[in-house]
Amino acid sequence: MICIAGNMPVLQVGQHQIYDYDTYWIRRAIENAAHRANQPYFTFVDDVYDGIVYYLENKCPLRLLQIEDLYTRIRHTLKRIGCEAIANAIEIECPPITISLERAAIEAGNGYELAFYQILQEEMQTLKKLGAREVFFSEMRESVLVLKQSEQWHDDCDQLESDIILWLKNAGTQPQRQGFRIRCNIEKITV
């Protein structure tokens, strides 16, 4: 299922607000909780998942929903149907989050690549603690121009772009280019 803007609340995950999201991660969180509770064949996964999605689409009175509050609702639902072990085993997961590399470069300051990498590392660690599994990095070109203090792309910019991708690989994120964004799995980074 895909979140159509206006039907589901915007999710607040740390400092990020997520809209226009799909909901597969909710189902995955329920399945993972069932496995942790030694109930890998939990037959009500689809029912609980459908109920949560219905709530988000039709009954949630909030336009901005904290991710923690959503998981409180999921735990409550599982307990009400007698699945307390699964409710106690559920861990927060959230939809993919987009991080602006340009924002991180501006925050780091012109020419301060080390600070740029530190900002990215801290943000990925924070998001991992909040239940994120994957992130999308956007605005690579803009971030490189900020860090290189340049208005025009040149050979040094190509090198810095390669260095950023290499840094993401070394951080354990398995980066993959997808158009203008870079998709990364942050499950294996150290917190």
- Is residue 176 left, alpha or beta, with left meaning phi > 0 and alpha meaning psi from -120 to 50? beta
Sheet holding 176-178, edge to edge: 97-100, 134-138, 181-185, 176-178
Q: Which residue has the higher pLDDT, 93 or 20?
A: 93
Task: Using DSSP, state whether 131 is helix, strand or coil.
Answer: coil
Q: Output the six-digit token pair for 42.
A: 């939990």
Residue among 120, 95, 104, 111 nearest 17 (CA): 95
What is the C-alpha to C-alpha distance for residues 17 and 54, in angstroms, rounded to an integer? 21
Domain ranges of the chain: 10-89, 97-185
pLDDT digits (tens, 9 = 90+) for 48-85: 999 999 999 999 999 999 999 999 999 999 999 999 99
Are the C-beta atoms of 175 and 138 separated by less than 8 Å? no
Residue type, 59: K
pLDDT digits (tens, 9 = 90+) for 100-131: 999 999 999 876 888 999 999 999 999 999 88
* C-alpha 76: how far from chain center: 23
